[in-house]
Amino acid sequence: MVDKTVLARQFIEAIPHAKALGLDLTHIGEGEAEISMPYNEQLIGDPRTGVIHGGAVSAMLDTCCGAAVMSHPSAPGGTATIDLRIDYMRAATPGQSIRTRATCYHITRNVAFVRATATDDDGDRPVATASGAFTVEGR
């Protein structure tokens, strides 16, 4: 069997924007995915505090949800976002990496339903949560 971590790395390497954000796919499989992103000054949204822009967190959550869909045993191929809602709970602490975890909790022949959470070093207080619907593409 092919090493999952190698596959995960190749998946991220193939997405130019994931590379630009410095995303690291730390876990994937069975409809779940985890991505981490190191703190990067280029992604600051509020220069006075150094807090990462919500848009960068959205991009991470979207990538993580997509990866979770593709890793689902019933997903034959690629996927695309139909709709994604992000709730921002609090600002991510400057200087800390952000981690996202996504679960594809239901999948039909055409649609995959996904939930995701983003946290920083304080794993008990989410920075943001996401829920969305994704397409299920044929082979």
Partner 1 sequence: MGIARLRPHQVHLPWKVAEMARPRPEPMQLVKQRRDAALTALVEGVPYIQFLNITFDRRGDELTGVLNFDDKLIGNPFLPAIHGGVTAAFLEVTAVITLSWEHMFPRIESGEIGADDILTDENIRFPKTIDFTVDYLRSGLPRDAYARAFINRSGRRYASVRVEAWQDNHAKLFAQGTGHFLMPQSPTSKA
The only residue of 33, 35, 37, 60 in contact with partner 1, by rule CB under 8 A: 60
Over the window 98 to 117, marking each residue x when it contacts partner 1 by CB under 8 A and - when it does not, the resulting string is --------------------
Stretch that binds partner 1, among 30-38, 82-90, 106-114, 117-125 (CB under 8 A): 82-90
CB of 29 to partner 1, least distance (A): 21
Residue 3 makes contact with partner 1 by CB under 8 A = no
Cα separation, 7 vs 22, in Å, equals: 17
Residue closest to 122 by CA, chosen among 82, 85, 84, 95: 95
Locus of tokens 């600002």: 91
